[in-house]
Amino acid sequence: MKIHPILVAVAGAALAACARPGTQTTEDTAARTAEAHDQALVRIVHAIPEAPPADVFTGDQKAFSNVSFGQATAYKPVSDEPFKITLKAAGSEAAPVIVTAQEDVKAGDRYTILAMPDRDGAAKLDAFSDERAEPPAGKALVRVIHAAPEVGSANVYSAARVEDPEVEDVGYGAPAHYEEMAPGEATLSIEPLGQSARTKAAAVLSRVNVEPGKAYTLVVAPPDAPGKPAQLIRIEDPVAASANTGDAATGKQPAIVRGEGDGKLE
């Protein structure tokens, strides 16, 4: 489904009015008890720069309000299998639909539902299963979700391995798997489309700090204007309780990180 032209027209003003995310958040009580009630948990990540903030409906119920580009919601439970999910421009139940889909979920599991652009410019929803794994002692877990069809493959290098990527050749729409990584500053770079071998022409998209005992999802999002670099949505994921002495259902709101380098991702 193509993004409604009215939505594109209002998106710039809507996004300009939204503060960039960066505050800490936690899941609500319903999400924390969902597994005991034979429900699945879902969260939404908005990764379509040209789309306005969205209200998210699961079935006929509004589950999340005013989700802006670059934001990830807390987890909330859903009971229907499969269930219908719909994003509408925020503010009115009669607003135009940005995208709608039906997703299969399994009770007891967690899912990230990503609103992202398709290769033809349409908006689409894709579901990713979220493991709540325990990072090995002294390590972090990192995965990349690639949601930018117009840019090349992503590689993540740790501070300990600056030549050999820890996460390698993640292309648009590829399955996302956690990889162990030494703590410290990780570098996410983009290898331009059509480049057959790695060279130093790969652009540094972002440098992010990863901490031991934590898990992260890095979403490669499209640029917000032609000629600009891709963007990074960084999300701290919940981990198994034994790896997190606090609440295992607690995460942090993501931040959008603009690309470094020449901004000419091809």
Q: Is the dihedral of CA 252, 51, 174, 84 positive or negative?
A: positive
Q: Which domain holds residue 79?
A: 1-130
- Selection from 127, 40, 23, 129 nearest residue 76 by Cα: 40
Q: Are 229 and 221 within 8 A, CB to CB?
A: no
Last residue of a domain, one of 101, 130, 159: 130
Instruction: Assess whether 92 and 56 both reside in one domain.
Output: yes
Which helix (H) or strand (E) segment holds residue 127: the answer is strand 123-130
Residue 30, pLDDT score: 52
Instruction: Assess whether 74 and 161 both reside in one domain.
Output: no
> How many structural domains does the chain have?
2
- CA 31 from chain centre, in angstroms, equals 19
Q: In angstroms, rounded to a whole number, what is the distance separating the alpha carbons of residues 202 and 260?
A: 11
Last residue of a domain, one of 130, 163, 187: 130
Instruction: Assess whether 145 and 235 both reside in one domain.
Output: yes
Last residue of a domain, one of 86, 101, 130: 130
Burial 53-85 (b: 16+ CB within 10 A, else e): bbbbbbeeeebbeebbbbbbbbbbbbeeeebeb
Q: What is the pTM assigned to this prediction? A: 0.79
Instruction: Assess whether 256 and 152 both reside in one domain.
Output: yes
Instruction: Assess whether 211 and 260 both reside in one domain.
Output: yes
Instruction: Assess whether 26 and 126 both reside in one domain.
Output: yes
Alpha carbon distance, N-terminus to C-terminus of the chain = 25
Instruction: Assess whether 102 and 137 both reside in one domain.
Output: no
CATH number of the domain bearing residue 262 = 2.60.40
Amino acid 229 reads P
Instruction: Assess whether 155 and 209 both reside in one domain.
Output: yes
Instruction: Assess whether 108 and 219 both reside in one domain.
Output: no
Q: Are 44 and 4 within 8 A, CB to CB?
A: no
Instruction: Assess whether 46 and 31 both reside in one domain.
Output: yes
Strand partners, 218: 144, 234
- Selection from 156, 131, 159 nearest residue 234 by Cα: 156
pLDDT in tens, the chain (266 residues): 445 433 443 343 333 333 333 323 345 555 556 655 678 899 999 999 999 999 999 988 899 999 999 999 999 998 767 889 999 999 988 899 999 999 888 888 899 999 999 999 999 999 999 987 889 999 999 999 999 998 889 999 998 888 889 999 999 999 999 999 999 999 999 887 665 544 445 678 889 999 999 999 999 999 888 878 889 999 999 887 654 444 444 444 455 554 433 222 22
The torsion angles phi and psi of 181, rounded to 5 degrees, stand at -150, 140
